[in-house]
C-alpha cells in the first residue's frame, strides 16, 4: 500500500545548485511553492504549491532519484549525473530542463597529467561520488577502475594520497585549478532532467502528463 493517497502528487527537488535555477523554471510553468520553501533553514519537509494536487519535497540530489524510483515521489528534478550513476529502470526522464549545466570529468594532479598515457592504463584507482558510472566508463575502454566512494571534497583525495585520480562534476574548473588538478577526460555533459516514476505515469497519466507538458514548455521557453 502506498502511504501517499491518490490525492496529491509529490515532486522531489534537489537541495543546492540545481534548485536555484529550477525555481524560476517552475515559476514559468505556473508552479509556485509556498513562501516557506525559500527559507534555507526551514525545518518543514513538505511544501504546498499554488496547485492543489501538487506538493514539493526538498531532499539531497542523489535521493531525488531514489524517492521517485520507489514512487514515494512521482516527479522530480535531478542532474543527469545522478541518473547515470543509478540507472534505475523505474525512472523516465522525459524533459531536458537545460539547467544545472556542467560536465563529469576525470581529473588528476597537473604534475601527473603532463606525462600520463591513458591508453596504457589497465587499472586505475579513482575517488568519486559516482563509483558505478566510473566503473562502467572505464570498463568500456577495457580498464579496471577501483573506486573509492566519497560523499564530498573529492578534490582532496589526490593531495592526501587517497587516489591519484578523481571523477567529479566540473562547472567552471575553478575548484580543480585551486587544487592543482587538470581535467584529462570528459565522461559526459550534464544537465538537469525532469524525472517521472514509470508506474505512476501509467496509472495516473491524466494528472501527470499535463504537468510534464507545462514544464517542457517552460524549459524550451527559458
Site residues (vs other proteins, CB under 8 A): 1-2, 6, 69-71, 83, 88-96, 191, 193, 196, 199, 202-205, 209
* Min separation Cβ 141 and other proteins, Å: 17
Residue 138 CB, nearest approach to other proteins (Å): 19
Q: For residue 14, list its beta bridge partners.
A: 59
Of the pair 90, 185, the CB lying nearest other proteins is at 90
Neighbours of 153 (CB within 10 A): 11
Phi, then psi, of 130 in degrees rounded to 5: -125, 65
**DSSP secondary structure, 163-179, as one string:** -SEEEEEESSSHHHHHT
Pick between residue 93 and residue 112 the one whose CB is nearest to other proteins. Answer: 93
**Residue 131 near residue 154, CB atoms below 8 Å:** no
Residue at grid coordinates 566540473? 170
| CB closer to other proteins, 37 vs 67 | 67
CB of 200: closest distance to other proteins in angstroms?
A: 9
Of 52 and 89, which has the nearer Cβ to other proteins?
Answer: 89
- Minimum CB separation of residue 193 from other proteins in Å reads 8
Beta bridge partners of 92: 196
Angstrom distance (rounded) from CA 24 to CA 117? 44
DSSP string, 128-189: ES-HHHHHHHHHHTT-EEEEEE-SS-TTHHHHTTS-SEEEEEESSSHHHHHTTEEEEEEEEE
CA 76 – CA 150 distance, rounded (Å)? 24
User: What's the min distance (Å) between Cβ of 67 and other proteins?
Assistant: 13
- Closest CB to other proteins among residues 83, 182: 83
| Nearest approach, Cβ of residue 157 and other proteins (Å) | 30
Rounded Cα distance, 38 and 135, in Å: 37
Nearer to other proteins, 180 or 205 (CB): 205
Amino acid at each position: 500500500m502506498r502511504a501517499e493517497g491518490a490525492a496529491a502528487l509529490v515532486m522531489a527537488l534537489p537541495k543546492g545548485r540545481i534548485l536555484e535555477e529550477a525555481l524560476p523554471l517552475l515559476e514559468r510553468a505556473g508552479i509556485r511553492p509556498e513562501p516557506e520553501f525559500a527559507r534555507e533553514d526551514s525545518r518543514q519537509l513538505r511544501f504546498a504549491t499554488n496547485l492543489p494536487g501538487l506538493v514539493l519535497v526538498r531532499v539531497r540530489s542523489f535521493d531525488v532519484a531514489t524517492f521517485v524510483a520507489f514512487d514515494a515521489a512521482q516527479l522530480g528534478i535531478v542532474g543527469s549525473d545522478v541518473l547515470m550513476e543509478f540507472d534505475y529502470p523505474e525512472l523516465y526522464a522525459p524533459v531536458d530542463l537545460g539547467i544545472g549545466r556542467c560536465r563529469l570529468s576525470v581529473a588528476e594532479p597537473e604534475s601527473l597529467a603532463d606525462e600520463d598515457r591513458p591508453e596504457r592504463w589497465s587499472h586505475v584507482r579513482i575517488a568519486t561520488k559516482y563509483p558505478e558510472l566510473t566503473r562502467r566508463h572505464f570498463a568500456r575502454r577495457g580498464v579496471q577502475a577501483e573506486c573509492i566512494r566519497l560523499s564530498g571534497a573529492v578534490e582532496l583525495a589526490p593531495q592526501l594520497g587517497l587516489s591519484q585520480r578523481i571523477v567529479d562534476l566540473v562547472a567552471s574548473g575553478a575548484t580543480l585549478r585551486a587544487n592543482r588538478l587538470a581535467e584529462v577526460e570528459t565522461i559526459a555533459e550534464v544537465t538537469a532532467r525532469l524525472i517521472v516514476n514509470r508506474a505512476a505515469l501509467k496509472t495516473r497519466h491524466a494528472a501527470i502528463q499535463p504537468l510534464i507538458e507545462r514544464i517542457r514548455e517552460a524549459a524550451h521557453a527559458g
